[in-house]
Amino acid sequence: MSNRDIIVIGGSAGATAPLKQILGRLPPDLPAAVFIVLHIPAQGIGILSTVASSAGPLPVRQAENGMKIEPGRVYLAAPDHHLLLSEDRVFLGRGPRENMVRPAIDALFRSAAINYGPRVIGVLLSGLLSDGSAGLNAIKRCGGISVVQDPSDAIADELPRSALEATIIDLCVPGAGMGDVLSDLAREAAGAALPIPPEIRLEVEIAAGERIGSDRLVSMADPVALTCPACGGVLSEMKESHPMRFRCQVGHAFAADVLAKEQEGQVDEALRVALRIIEERAELVQRMAADGRRNGRPAVAEMYQARAAEYREYADMIRRVVLKSLDPPIRKREA
């Protein structure tokens, strides 16, 4: 039987430190290939050198389309491309962003799951929100192993905590000890292969850039009264998804917490636009009131003055809402 020879690692904020610890502890004879997705800007630079300087004896390369997969090597996602795996090669996808990012952790994890099943070890490190949780769930559904950084050890604990809530986690390990754990897991025999859920395969095709269309989307999601923040299209809620996720007909994908974060920004922007329009309206009728007084029309001036005061009250109310949204009350932790 084959060993667990595919290690996929994802992280965002605060993930660089534990990633350095992991790569520094992996041995030169590691019988597995390592694939890494960090959330980086489309024009990000310096990540490759940062990872390579920490990889110890393992060679690190930025993934290129068609690159052959070999054990004992580290492959880093390229900016603005989904890192996807086939049976023996890497390929880069330009499909829609997931959780507003490309490369997305979920895309890598799903492609590993459908092609390597029980041979996959999925690892989530420090990060914000929940990108990667759905992908780790896909790895588990296809027979792989799931590992997360101990949230108490993470700089940003949202990502590992989301994974713990979304799926069964096999190991929860501090960053300092994860390299040794992965080295041991890679030498173990893989389990039995499991059937590949068709919706996971479809989502990998979307990440690769294939057209989704409403006819294919309806097979794995139900339309809801929500709008895609990326393109303005109708969103559909993925069926039986953990965590809760949404996709639009174009293919943009969002975990519920990421969608809520994007909506929060849109609400804030809408309030600021409304505030500007009302303040401009107040300024206009104030000038109209002054013009009425200058021209000996006191009744008209009084009417416009009252409207100006009313608009100022509306503006003050919106301003208070905007300020409150920037400084939400701190919730008390449950005992």
Positions marked active-site: 12, 39, 131
Please count the other Cβ atoms lying within 10 Å of the Cβ belonging to residue 205: 18
Residue found under tokens 């009264």: 225
Q: Is the Cβ–Cβ distance between 95 and 88 less than 8 Å?
A: no
Query: In Å, what is the CA distance from 90 to each residue of 45, 48, 86, 198, 208?
Result: 21, 17, 6, 21, 12
Place of tokens 């520094």: 24
Phi-psi region of 155 (alpha: psi -120 to 50; beta: other; left: phi over 0): alpha
Query: Is the torsion defined by CA of 238, 244, 250, 251 positive or negative?
Result: negative
Which amino acid type is present at position 79? Answer: P
**3 near 45, Cβ under 8 Å?**
no
Encoded amino acid at 165, one letter: E
Determine the 3-state secondary structure of 58 from DSSP: coil
Return the DSSP state at 149: E
SS3 255: strand
247 torsion bin: left (phi>0), alpha (psi -120 to 50), beta (else): beta
**Angle CA(312)–CA(318)–CA(320) in degrees, nearest 5?**
105
Bridge partner list, 234: 227
Which stretches of 245-332 are DSSP H helices?
Answer: 256-294, 298-326
Measured CA to CA, the distance from residue 114 to residue 189 in angstroms comes to: 18
